Amino acid sequence: MKFKCPECDGEIETKEVIEGEILSCPDCGAELEVSKDKKGNFELKVAESEGEDWGE
């Protein structure tokens, strides 16, 4: 699958993805979350950054 990085516009090629998965842009290193748009197509958005309460 092919995506555009929402941060740097770089090309991102991946295998199959699932919603909620985190990818990192090979160009700019941004952490990106796989989500679905209103039509149900996969899209990438910038992922939340680590919070103080993250973990187990």
Partner 1 sequence: MAQTLSLLYDRVRVEEKEIINAAQKKGVELRPIDAKELHLEITDLNKDEIFGDVALERCVSHFRGLYLTAILENKGVAVINPFSVAALCGDKLLCSMKLAKAGIPTPKTIVAFTKEEAMKVLEEEMGYPAVIKPVFGSWGRLIAPLKDRETAQALLEDREEMGNPLYQIYYIQEMVERPPRDIRTVVVGDQIAASIYRYSAPDDWRTNIARGGKAEVCNLTEDLRELILKAAEVVGTGLLGVDAMETKEGIVIHEVNSTVEFKGAMSVSEVDIPGMIIDYALEKARR
Q: Give the interface with partner 1 as residue ranges (CB under 8 A).
A: 18-22, 33-35, 47-48, 51-56
Contact assessment for residue 27 and residue 4, using Cβ atoms and an 8 Å cutoff: no
Cβ nearer to partner 1, comparing 13 with 19: 19
Cβ nearer to partner 1, comparing 9 with 41: 41
Distance separating alpha carbons of residues 45 and 6, to the nearest angstrom: 6
Total length of the chain: 56
Cβ nearer to partner 1, comparing 33 with 43: 33
CB of 4 to partner 1, least distance (A): 21
Distance separating alpha carbons of residues 47 and 56, to the nearest angstrom: 19
